[in-house]
Structure 1
Amino acid sequence: MTIYLTLLNGTGYVFNADDYMELRTKHRIMGAPVGTANSKGWSSSEAALPVELTKWETQWLIEARIAVLVSKSRALKAPPSPEMLQAYKTEFKASLLAQADALKAEKLRETERHVDKILVGKRNKLLKQAKNEEAAALTTEDVLEEIANNFVFESQNALVELPCSHMMNHFAKLCSEPVYDTKSLKYRVFLDLWRRGKFVTSGEAFGADFLIYPGDPLLYHASHIVIILESPAIRPLELICKVRLSVTVNKDCVFAYKQTDSSNIIYQSVKWCK
């Protein structure tokens, strides 16, 4: 089944959770969730869909015919028709009503768990008000009915829809232009590491080109940082800087460069000794 990537900011985005899980578990393509599930603002620890793929991940998925890249800018920028707007409002209202019903049902279930204590408390309150007959007549059903009748669902506390698959009725344009140079050394290194069975992600946060994980990044820390060199030569101060950086983040430092007399990629690990 072909996966559709949405072209945004020059790269592919994944809006469908099933598609992302297939890319992650079957093809070892990690990307980075950039959506927010937090009403107070974006948080890296609570990031959600959509998932932003790097340009080299997007390019490889297209080359491997695992996914196609489409542009929906024209459709998504167009104002909705009155029918589409009404359908959205109807669906949104139904979502709020469904949440209200679910919250009310949970409230009643929670009340039933503690109804004996609640009943005693209400009876004592009535007795203090000298309403002995009402206290004696109060039953469990009365307590549950009162909770149900007084339940109020605050719309500002509702869970609104997260970015997911776009509306069903829309059109997209297939993008055939490459998003990344497949002849570049960085792309070739990424592809070579991926073919070796590695989990590869962007290493920008660590001052490197790539991070390598021994398994899914949800379960493992990165074991190596990969730095790409255009030639085998490197200045001593730059070498010291990169290796000390890898020591600071507790990872092995790997330099990747093209062999002088061929197109082969050479990897050289450097460790800080003492």
Structure 2
Amino acid sequence: MTLPILLRVSNFRAYVWDVDDINTLRSHHHICGILTGTLPHLSSQNVFLGLPLQLMPEEVVLLVENGIAVLVDDPSAHHSPSSSVLKLWQEERLSDAKQQIALTEEKESIEASNANRAMSESAQRKRKEREERRARATVNAAPNFPTDDIPSPPPISENPSQLAVEESPDRAVVMPSAPYTVHVPASSSRLAWYAPQSHLHSSIEAGIWKYPSTLQERARCGVFRSLWEQGFYMGVGIRFGGEYLVYPGDPLRYHSHFVASVIDAPGAALRPMEIVAHGRLGTGTKKAHLLCEWNDETKVVSYFSVEWAGFG
């Protein structure tokens, strides 16, 4: 069973600190978020940012309601374990580490045996070739001597250790064993006495989350979910005069096709100048503008596309 992604809450904002979780959110759930952390030794901090990943409130609500993630308030999520539970946890960690060490040593022993066998065969072959070259050189240097008087080379030793001494009598090469890594779980978020808030309602009651609490926020969540269920990726759209930028795929590969504005009720007022501004701005940035109307009673979103066109 896949464990839910942990969303760390601070000041009513949700962050993701695990790189694997960020990859999962982006590749499997088309949730992008915004990197807000600094990177060491990098001057262009306004261009390249690092962990943590901050999520929009709408993304948080969607992930928690779908059971993909849970909200975490670290100060109140840790509980003091009993001595028996702590002792059992320590024994399991030690047993797991010993098992990993045994498996690693067995693997290294097999690899070392294979390597020694390959080296001994190679050394025997090289020694034989060298003796043959030496014999041919002796024959060429003394052509008048009968070949029967040439002493034969000593037999090749079958003992790999003796062979190694004969090959290099003046030095001994000791190959140190390669270091290996034992994986010991150290994350406090996977312990039995660690209890994050798992539901949106309980998180709101605990006072660590408060979104959505108004009609406008419910409308934003409804529109976001509707677009997300259609397979779109969403980003912040304030630079283009809307709530969201709507991408047909991963923003690293595609340009946004729409700028979405949220209208929180069917009877909400919309001035003609807003429609003109949205149409002209969308055309200037090669996008269509989506007016997304939310009906809080039926939980249905109606879409209207605005594109600028010539007259006459």
Same fold (TM over 0.5): yes
Q: CA deviation at 1:205?
A: 2.6
Q: Which whole-Å CA distance do the structure 2 matches of 1:27 and 1:261 have between them?
A: 27
Answer whether contact 1:71 1:172 (CA < 8 A) is retained: no
1:255 match: secondary structure: strand
Does structure 1 residue 268 correspond to structure 2 residue 270?
no
In structure 2, relative to structure 1, the CA distance for the partners of 1:258 and 1:62 (3 Å cut) is: closer
In structure 2, relative to structure 1, the CA distance for the partners of 1:260 and 1:172 (3 Å cut) is: closer
Q: Which whole-Å CA distance do the structure 1 matches of 2:22 and 2:286 have between them?
A: 29
Q: Indicate the percent of aligned positions where both proteins have the same amino acid.
A: 30
Does structure 1 residue 246 correspond to structure 2 residue 248?
no
Q: Which whole-Å CA distance do the structure 2 matches of 1:74 and 1:24 have between them?
A: 29
- The letter of the residue matching 2:18 is N
- The letter of the residue matching 1:174 is P
Look up the match of 1:139: none
Look up the match of 1:201: 235
Look up the match of 2:212: 181
Answer whether contact 1:71 1:173 (CA < 8 A) is retained: no
Look up the match of 2:56: 54
Does structure 1 residue 168 correspond to structure 2 residue 192?
no
Q: Which whole-Å CA distance do the structure 1 matches of 2:223 and 2:188 have between them?
A: 40
In structure 2, relative to structure 1, the CA distance for the partners of 1:261 and 1:3 (3 Å cut) is: closer
Task: Report the structure number with the largest CA radius of gyration.
Answer: 2
Q: CA deviation at 1:246?
A: 1.4
Q: Which moved more, 1:250-259 or 1:214-223?
A: 250-259
Q: Matched residue pairs, number?
A: 184
Answer whether contact 2:245 2:260 (CA < 8 A) is retained: yes
Q: Which whole-Å CA distance do the structure 2 matches of 1:67 and 1:177 have between them?
A: 13
Q: How does 1:220-239 map to 2 (within 5 A)?
A: 220-230=254-264, 231=267, 233-239=269-275
The TM-score, its normalising length taken from structure 1, stands at: 0.60
Structure 1: tracts of 5 or more residues without a match: 77-166
Look up the match of 1:190: 224
2:203 match: secondary structure: coil
Q: Which whole-Å CA distance do the structure 1 matches of 2:219 and 2:306 have between them?
A: 20
Answer whether contact 2:231 2:248 (CA < 8 A) is retained: no
Look up the match of 1:113: none
Match of 1:255 among 280, 291, 304: 291
Match of 1:64 among 60, 63, 66: 66
Q: Which whole-Å CA distance do the structure 2 matches of 1:223 and 1:201 have between them?
A: 12
1:46 match: secondary structure: coil
Structure 1 residues 104-157: Cα deviation after superposition (integer angstroms, max 9, x where no partner): xxxxxxxxxxxxxxxxxxxxxxxxxxxxxxxxxxxxxxxxxxxxxxxxxxxxxx
2:226 match: secondary structure: helix
- The letter of the residue matching 1:16 is D
Q: How does 1:100-111 map to 2 (within 5 A)?
A: none
Q: Which moved more, 1:14-23 or 1:245-254?
A: 245-254
1:174 match: secondary structure: coil
- The letter of the residue matching 1:177 is S
Q: Which whole-Å CA distance do the structure 2 matches of 1:75 and 1:42 have between them?
A: 36
Q: CA deviation at 1:11?
A: 2.3
- The letter of the residue matching 1:246 is G
1:45 match: secondary structure: coil
In structure 2, relative to structure 1, the CA distance for the partners of 1:185 and 1:261 (3 Å cut) is: closer
- The letter of the residue matching 2:203 is E
In structure 2, relative to structure 1, the CA distance for the partners of 1:260 and 1:71 (3 Å cut) is: closer
